[in-house]
Every structure is written in C-alpha cells, then in structure tokens.
Amino acid sequence: MKEQNGKKGFTLWFTGLSGAGKSTIADALAPILRDRGLKVERLDGDIVRKSLTKDLGFSMEDRKLNIERVTFVAKLLTRNGVAVLASFISPSIEVRNESRNEIGNFIEVFVKASLDACIERDVKGLYKKALAGEIKDFTGIHDTAPYEQPPTPELVLDTEKLSVEECIEKIIAKLEELQYL
C-alpha cells in the first residue's frame, strides 16, 4: 500500500510560529517533489479552514480538533503513497505527537524564528492586530496560546539564518537520509 514508484508516502509536518516561514517553504518544496515524480498534497490552515474545519476557531480545543481532522486526512494520503506537506502552527507537543503516532511516516520540521523576527516580518498583518487586541488567542502573543517548541524534531530550519533554498536543500537531504527519496 505504501509504495509509489518504489517510494513510500510520508508527511512533512511544518510547525512553528505564524510568520516563521512554514507555508513559504512548503509551497516552494511542492513543485520540486513533483518534479521528482512524487504525488504531493499541501495541507495548511488556509486550505482546510475553507472546508474541513470551517466550523472551528482558534481556542486550544478548536486547534486540537483542527489538527485531529488534518491528521486523519494526512494518514490516509500517506498510506496511499502521497507526500503530504502539512504546515500548521500546531503549538502543542502532545497534539503533534498524536499526529506522529497516527500518521506513521512523520517528519517533524521545526521552522524556527524568534517571536521578535516574526513580529517584525508580520507578512499577514496578524501580529499588529493581535498586539492591538483585535485577535484573541494568538500563538506566542497571548497566555491562552503558548507555542511549545519541539524537543526532538527531525529537522530544525532557522529562517533567520537560512534562505528558502537552503531550507529546501536540508529537507531534501533529510528525505534522502530517511530513504523517502
């Protein structure tokens, strides 16, 4: 069930603060993996919150449900030979570990950037709103939404030091090391 052109399905799980660069890296990686003959699906908040999880907000409980549903989808795709690129803040160690256990071929990628750097970038203008109190439960800003760094991720990508290209090189090398490529 797991082979696709002799290769196994897997889920690259990008976790990190809003603005750390998760989706940017995953979006840039997707066509590169497709060029290598892999079937690729992107899962991120903007995609799933339109359909799969449109009833959910950003409370701790709703975030957990969001990730549970995404995990179900990633599991089914992974065991059918798809390379899943999932980018979610997914702030809870416990919830990420449940995803790891459920999905199996799970590669946790910590996309690392300091809170200050993310606030400075503020690509979507969300930090400004969060700091102004216009958004509740914003990860890293509010006590209700702490971000728990992964203690033992398969990969750490420090986006304050590395370019997108360098991040992708590291991911490709890791996938080769783990024999997914």
28-87 residues in contact with a copy of itself (CB under 8 A) are: 39, 41, 48, 51-52, 55, 65, 68-69, 71-73, 76-77, 80-82
Contacts of 16 (CB under 8 A, 6+ apart): 22, 89, 110, 111, 112, 113, 147
Residue 94 sits in the site that holds a copy of itself (CB under 8 A): no
Q: Token pair for residue 118? A: 């993310």
Q: Which is nearer to a copy of itself, 13 or 138 (CB)?
A: 13
Q: Which is nearer to a copy of itself, 41 or 44 (CB)?
A: 41
For this structure, is 90 an active site residue? yes
Q: Token pair for residue 58? A: 């950003």
- Give exposure, 32-41, as e/b (b: 16+ Cβ within 10 Å): ebeeeebbbb
Q: Select which of 90, 92, 99, 114 is catalytic.
A: 90
Shortest separation between residue 69's beta carbon and a copy of itself, angstroms: 5
| Separation of alpha carbons 109 and 107, rounded Å | 6
19 closest CA partner among 165, 143, 151, 126: 126
Residues serving a catalytic function are 90
Residues engaged in binding a copy of itself (CB under 8 A) = 1, 39, 41, 48, 51-52, 55, 65, 68-69, 71-73, 76-77, 80-82
